[in-house]
Amino acid sequence: MHIVQPGMEIDVLKENNKIANENWRLLKSHGIKSVDFMGSIGAGKTALIIKMAEKLRAKGIRVCAIAGDVTGTDDFGRFERSGMEAVNCNTGKECHLDARLIKKSLADVDLDGFDVLFIENVGNLVCPADFPLGTDYRAVVVSTTEGDDMVRKHHDIFLHSDIAILNKTDIAYAVDVNPETIAEDYSRLTGGLKKMYMCSVKKDEGIDEILAALGF
């Protein structure tokens, strides 16, 4: 449900940002590093988070994941089965997480029980952009299967993200997509200042570079 009223929209965003700041301070007071993963359905956010958490666990870093979805427990179940601490966060109807939902989720976990929080936002390349959650980083994940025009169609979420990740490079050939086209669009959008990180979660390619970009 999405309703725009001039004025009111500003109040809602202000309120969200205020709670996002509270979330950030709470996480920092427990020494937790956090990343919000945004992106469309099927971009591979769940698989990427699980793979990154595995690699961090091997270094003794404990990860907790919040699974954001409209309904269901599919991604939450995947996180749990991978051995991670996880929280399910259903929006019910909304197409994005917001800072208040994260505040509630954080009340349900032991903040001294993990070092890193990965939040998987609702599968949507439009709506989450406007709602920071209070994480250190915001990452946008896209997949080659989404076509080569995602950056051209969705400036906002790429401009709101600290890091952009292109997943499923291994099947780019099968969907007739050239990953370089997407990377060039992103470089152009960011004035040549930022590069897109390429990866194949399935083949475990490119994940270490992403972890390094996030300061791990």
Q: Which stretch binds a second copy (CB under 8 A): 20-28, 49-57, 101-109, 145-153?
A: 145-153
Q: How far is Cα 111 from Cα 31, in angstroms, rounded to an integer?
A: 9
CA-CA-CA-CA torsion sign (157, 24, 97, 2) = negative
Residue with tokens 């202000």: 14
Residue 61 beta carbon to a second copy: minimum distance, rounded to whole angstroms: 27
Contacts of 76 by beta carbon, 8 Å cutoff, 6+ apart: 67, 69, 86, 87, 88
Q: How far is CA 51 from CA 55, 77, 82, 122, 210, in A?
A: 6, 15, 9, 19, 11
Q: Which stretch binds a second copy (CB under 8 A): 23-31, 55-63, 106-114, 122-130?
A: 122-130
Q: Which stretch binds a second copy (CB under 8 A): 17-25, 67-75, 190-198, 206-214?
A: 67-75
Does the protein bind a second copy through residue 149 (CB under 8 A)? yes
Radius of gyration of the CA atoms of the chain, in A: 17
Residue 158 beta carbon to a second copy: minimum distance, rounded to whole angstroms: 11
Look up residue 201 and give its two tokens: 């979660």
Residue 160 beta carbon to a second copy: minimum distance, rounded to whole angstroms: 12
Does the protein bind a second copy through residue 68 (CB under 8 A)? no
Of the candidate residues 143, 161, 169, 200, the single one contacting a second copy (CB under 8 A): 143
Identify whether the C-beta of residue 96 lies closer than 8 Å to the C-beta of residue 149: no
Residues that bind a second copy (CB under 8 A): 1-5, 8-9, 12-13, 40-42, 69-72, 74-75, 93-96, 122-127, 130, 143, 145-147, 149-150, 152-156, 168, 171, 174-175
